[in-house]
Amino acid sequence: MGMAKKEENPLLKQALEYHEKGINVAKTFYKGKSPPKGGQWKAYKTERVTEAQLQEWFGGGRWCNMAAVTGPVSRGLTVLDFDSKTAYHKWSEKFPESAKKLPTSSSGRGFHVWFRSKLDADDTQSFAGIDIKAGGLATLPPSTHENGRKYEWLTPLPDRVEDLPVLDPYDFKLEQFTDGKDGKEGIEGRDGEGSKGGRGGVCSYQGLNGLIVRKIDAAIQKTLPTGYGQSYDLLFLLARTLKAIKELENKSVAEIMALGIIEEWYNRALPNLKTKSLILKKARFDNAWRDAKHPVGKGVSLMVAWRQAQKSTLQMQEFEWFHNDELVKRVIRLCFELQKLAGPNDVWFLPTNKAPELFGISHSWLAVLLQELAAREVIEKVKEHTRQKCARYIYIGPSKKFLKI
């Protein structure tokens, strides 16, 4: 009698099938939605996961969940995430043809509806109980929800993501299907209907088209505080992110204020603001707009961070781990400032070919220092370098509490 054939791991098989369809698949915790190592998955918002990586993540019968990295890296894959069955049924009654033809999966409490879009907004745009995911993570079947229910396909995906229809999710005017029971107000879609100043969704600003509105909303969503004491740094990041929007970069601070952007940021941030003064937040944004000389994504973060690191007098516990070596202190300060510029959860990079210019050392010596900082848990490498791209890091040392992000 021959040896029994080894049973194929069903989770790995499913991950490889999704990969073949064109979906970038990320590993998430079992009965959870968060990926291991925090922001590591963000590297895969622009880079395709390899089959070897999937084998490592899902092979061997490991208990975990899986999620699609939505957005351009997955051919524009977009998901409507209905947190409740009630909201989904309201939507399906209004748009029966879409509900019938679009692939749909069950979640722990509601449904996911899958299609493609041309959205360039980052991560999740939220209404009250309905999320538009066009760059963030969307849990895939057969993952397990925290309540023990399996995610299942009710109507399956096509063989290729490219076969999904391309839609604009804002045409659904999702605010009309929310019930506000989660404490958020339903707010307007791209045509400006609804109540301005609500939290957690796309706002409409007079004189701006829907695409610019979505870019503004993404900037607001990216810079919302998660706890007290974060607002000053995040308002500066908001200013830099808004200045990266071509239509806003040359506007005066008065013109930006007149659009109501800061009021919208304030309304959404309010639960995590210790000082509730809108006037103070406007004053801080006024200063941030004038100080933000370099928009996000313009390739100058390294030199901005370098200047800030040179001026810094912050005493960091990490210095003691390296006997206050001056060279290591300078590298740590630069890493710290790069994280501040990157934002709350985003990764950053430090090109080793800049080592002679910045530190007067060879590029290989800087690589060794970064490796040692990672070993001592000052920074964490979340993506290895390639021929085209530098390694990506996040700052995890004790002084992270001073980042206020």
Q: Convert the pLDDT of each residue in 192-245 to its tens digit.
A: 333 333 334 445 466 676 778 888 888 888 888 877 777 877 888 899 889 888
Question: What is the DSSP code (8-state) at residue 161?
Answer: G
* pLDDT beyond 70 at 185: no
The CB density around residue 365, as the number of other CB atoms within 10 Å, is: 15
Q: Does 300 or 287 have the greater pLDDT score?
A: 287
In this prediction the pTM is 0.50
The CB density around residue 9, as the number of other CB atoms within 10 Å, is: 16
Q: What was the pLDDT predicted at 61?
A: 64
Q: Work out the pLDDT band at 135, boundaries 50, 70, 90.
A: confident
Mean pLDDT check: name the lowest of 4-13, 234-243, 395-404. 4-13
Cβ proximity of 17 and 140 under 8 Å:
no
Average pLDDT, the chain: 82
Q: What was the pLDDT predicted at 214?
A: 81
Q: What was the pLDDT predicted at 18?
A: 97
Residues in contact with 367: Cβ distance below 8 Å, sequence separation at least 6, in sequence order:
352
End-to-end CA, the chain: 62
* pLDDT beyond 70 at 341: yes
Share of the chain above pLDDT 70, in %: 84
* pLDDT beyond 50 at 181: no
Name the phi and psi angles at 267, rounded to 5: -60, -40
Q: What was the pLDDT predicted at 2?
A: 46
* pLDDT beyond 80 at 330: yes
Where does 104-238 show beta strands of DSSP type E?
Answer: 104-106, 111-116, 124-126, 130-133, 137-139, 152-155
Share of the chain above pLDDT 90, in %: 36
Q: What was the pLDDT predicted at 112?
A: 97
Helix (H), strand (E) at residue 331: helix 326-342
- H helices present in 66-163, as ranges: 85-94, 96-101
* pLDDT beyond 80 at 247: yes
Mean pLDDT check: name the lowest of 119-128, 212-221, 268-277. 119-128
Pair of tokens at residue 286: 């006024």
Q: What was the pLDDT predicted at 186?
A: 35
Q: What was the pLDDT predicted at 357?
A: 85
* pLDDT beyond 50 at 89: yes
Query: What structural domains does the chain harbor?
Result: 10-176 (3.30.2250), 207-291 (no CATH), 301-403 (1.10.10)
Question: What is the C-alpha to C-alpha distance for residues 92 and 170, in angstroms, rounded to an integer?
Answer: 15
* pLDDT beyond 60 at 101: yes
Provide the β-strand partners of residue 27: 66
Q: What was the pLDDT predicted at 40?
A: 64
What's the whole-number mean pLDDT along residues 363-384? 92
Mean pLDDT check: name the lowest of 40-44, 105-109, 354-358. 40-44
Q: Convert the pLDDT of each residue in 39-79 to its tens digit.
A: 567 788 888 999 999 998 888 766 789 999 999 999 999 99
Q: Does 46 or 80 have the greater pLDDT score?
A: 80
Question: What is the C-alpha to C-alpha distance for residues 243 and 284, in angstroms, rounded to an integer?
Answer: 16
What's the whole-number mean pLDDT along residues 83-99? 92
* pLDDT beyond 70 at 300: no
Q: Report the amino acid identity of residue 84.
A: S
Going by C-alpha positions, the residue among 12, 173, 184, 6 that lies closest to residue 83 is 184
Q: What was the pLDDT predicted at 37?
A: 62
Q: What was the pLDDT predicted at 344?
A: 60
